[in-house]
Amino acid sequence: MSMTSTLPMQLVRGRSASSQWFWTGPVDSVAYDEAGMRAALRRLEQPVFVVEIQGRVGITNQGGLQAASASAGGACLAEGQPVNPQQLGDVAFNRFYGTQYAYTSGAMAQGISSAELVIALGKAGMLGSFGAAGMVPPRLEAVIQKVQAALPHGPYAFNLIHSPHEEAMERNAVELYLRHAVTTVEASAFLDLTPSIVWYRTAGLSQAADGSVLIGNRVIAKLSRTEVAQKFMHPAPVAILNELVQQGKISTQQAALAQRVPMADDVTVEADSGGHTDNRPLVCLVPTMLALRDELQARHQFIHPVRVGAGGGISTPAAVFAAYMMGAAYVVTGTVNQACMEAGASEHTRKLLAQAGMADVMMAPSADMFEMGVKVQVLKKGTLFPLRAQKLYELYSKYESIDAIPADEREKVEKQVFRRNLEDIWQDTVKFFQERDPEQIVRATQNPKRKMALIFRWYLGLSSKWSNSGEAGREMDYQIWCGPAIGPFNDWTRGTYLAEYQNRKVVDVAFHLLTGAAYLWRLQGLKLQGVQYPAAWEQYRPSASLV
């Protein structure tokens, strides 16, 4: 049955004229033209009815349903209730964190996920995670105070990144979070549980009058491996708890309470993303993690089961919708936020991101886990950083010290990469770690290969800071963490006001992603009732700002 003579929109299954329920309402509210029908579908705050009146099929937001009668306006072929983006995801997530939307922004190191970004999202009822990785304690403490002043009741989170070669950085961050009552952390890049993350989690536990466990310090673990997920979905290890009790960091009661709750309240499944990533597909990771969660929940019977969220590749309404449909309790965006004006990135970096496609990314050596061969995903278009960083790792792998590098190779990296003598770089490195972690210098002076690693990490560490600050003359050395999601995001916004990076605001982008996902939810509901419509109708485009 054709809905109009010109539109390829049909009812292939659904209510028939003999249905006991009919639509009644103002017949002049029914739209039969394409523009009118699409407008009715996008009024998400109103119900929608697909109706047939005198052989014509149209769409309206008005009226209602009643039993068949002579006064009925026409047959109701399909219907949809109002859809609010606040309905997407797990309502328990919103209750737990005090948010209005099951939508978060993941942390991007060195303040790319800036205080301004976190505050903007928090005021809009969304959870933002500050990019604390790489920050020295005084600077981090200042940001904590700024965010807490702007969001005294939240919601906000701070990142706690695993630092296997700089344990002091991880420990110092936890000390600051406990001192300033930061009640939510996003734990990322963890390969195993450490005393620091267990300390943070357990130090916030207390017992209610009814004997239940009160969770004061909430943990969102961002990961992509089941072996790591298991550690966060289990209670804290007894050995670490005993060690913390002996050190006087937690009480014996807190150690006992820790055995009744999982290490994390939420686990963010991180698929192919910017920064640290295993480049794994979201459609494989989410079902796997949900199954693991269910298995461990059946074993432990936690009062509040671990929720599973989805991150990595979330940059379009279709991706947001797909994540929720797979069972994600919440979604996490990253790369798209770095392209927004509130991000702690330079104008040059935002310009490059606005021009990038899905294939304009590659893996490069990581600064924080350089010696382990760990890589991060970065933008390759408009910068030579990935190639230069890879060259440094090849030299590190091949030689045992700076002095062992052939003279011609050393000269190349000094001129093309560092632009300075490596001995001068070492002196800068010593000054840097004297403030950050003096033990690193002690270890390096006793191990020539370790010294070489720290010198090479000088470049890897500063390259991201150059990108953030817009260091003039170093544009080709910018390290820009970026996932392939930037391509679909730019494709989706092309031809709209969001194509211009100056118009990209983190809350506006979030609202469009959520609204678009809600719109797709409505269309799929109608499709399940048998409504068939042009494929182009599934394209939600951001036509105007929502803030």
Give the pLDDT score at 74. 83
Query: What tokens does 545 get?
Result: 């700002």
| The architecture CATH gives domain 87-344 | Alpha-Beta Barrel (3.20)
Amino acid at 174: V
Q: Which residue reads 């390096």 in tokens?
A: 444
Residue 173 has pLDDT above 50, yes or no: yes
Mark out the alpha helices in 151-194 (DSSP H runs). Answer: 167-179
Angle of CA points 112, 113, 117, to nearest 5°: 120
Return d(Cα 439, Cα 463) in angstroms, integer. 24
Return d(Cα 179, Cα 12) in angstroms, integer. 62
Mark out the alpha helices in 355-501 (DSSP H runs). Answer: 385-398, 407-413, 422-436, 439-445, 448-469, 486-493
Give the pLDDT score at 444. 86
3-class state of residue 96 by DSSP = helix
pLDDT 10s digits, 244-259: 999 999 999 999 999 9
Could you check whether the bond before residue 438 is cis, i.e. omega within 30 degrees of 0?
Answer: no
Share of the chain above pLDDT 70, in %: 95
Residue 130 burial (CB count, 10 A): 30
Residue 122 has pLDDT above 80, yes or no: yes
CA–CA distances in Å: residue 25 to residues 39, 74, 300: 18, 9, 53
Query: What tokens does 353 get?
Result: 């991101």
Return d(Cα 105, Cα 128) in angstroms, integer. 5
Return d(Cα 411, Cα 287) in angstroms, integer. 51
Q: Which has the closest alpha carbon to 186: 205, 204, 201?
A: 201
Do the beta carbons of residue 313 and residue 484 sit within 8 Å? yes
Q: Which has the closest alpha carbon to 316: 494, 500, 492?
A: 492
Give the pLDDT score at 69. 61
pLDDT 10s digits, 27-67: 999 999 999 999 999 999 999 999 998 889 999 999 999 87
HSE-CB of 391 using CA atoms within 13 angstroms: 15
pLDDT 10s digits, 3-19: 443 454 554 444 444 45
Query: What tokens does 527 get?
Result: 């499709």
3-state SS of 415-446 is HHHHCCCHHHHHHHHHHHHHHHCCHHHHHHHC
Do the beta carbons of residue 324 and residue 89 sit within 8 Å? yes
Domain ranges of the chain: 10-82+513-536, 87-344, 351-477
Query: What b/e string do you get for 95-105 counting C-beta neighbours within 10 Å, with b at 16 or more?
Result: ebbebebbbbb
Return d(Cα 387, Cα 380) in angstroms, integer. 9
pTM greater than the 0.85 cutoff: yes
Give the pLDDT score at 72. 57
Query: What tokens does 228 get?
Result: 């790591």
pLDDT 10s digits, 67-104: 766 555 788 999 999 999 999 999 999 999 999 999 99
pLDDT 10s digits, 186-209: 999 999 999 999 999 999 999 999
Return d(Cα 72, Cα 474) in angstroms, integer. 71
Note the Cα 489 to chain centre separation in Å.
Answer: 14
pLDDT 10s digits, 524-537: 999 999 999 899 99
CA–CA distances in Å: residue 283 to residues 277, 280, 289: 15, 9, 11
Return d(Cα 296, Cα 299) in angstroms, integer. 5
Give the pLDDT score at 4. 41
Give the pLDDT score at 167. 86
Q: What is the mean pLDDT of the chain?
A: 93
Give the pLDDT score at 12. 43
pLDDT 10s digits, 376-414: 999 999 999 999 999 999 999 999 999 999 999 999 999
Residue 474 has pLDDT above 80, yes or no: yes
For residue 497, the 8-state DSSP code is G
Return d(Cα 299, Cα 229) in angstroms, integer. 15
Give the pLDDT score at 392. 96
Query: pLDDT confidence of 497, banded at 50, 70, 90?
Result: very high
3-class state of residue 385 by DSSP = helix
3-class state of residue 372 by DSSP = helix
Return d(Cα 256, Cα 252) in angstroms, integer. 6
When pLDDT is averaged across residues 332-352 and rounded to a whole number, the result is 96
Rounded to the nearest 10°, the torsion over CA 375, 376, 377, 380 is -80
Residue 512 has pLDDT above 80, yes or no: yes
Residue 336 has pLDDT above 80, yes or no: yes
3-class state of residue 525 by DSSP = helix
Return d(Cα 372, Cα 213) in angstroms, integer. 38
Query: What tokens does 194 get?
Result: 């450490």
pLDDT 10s digits, 270-284: 999 998 888 999 999
Give the pLDDT score at 412. 95
For residue 31, the 8-state DSSP code is B
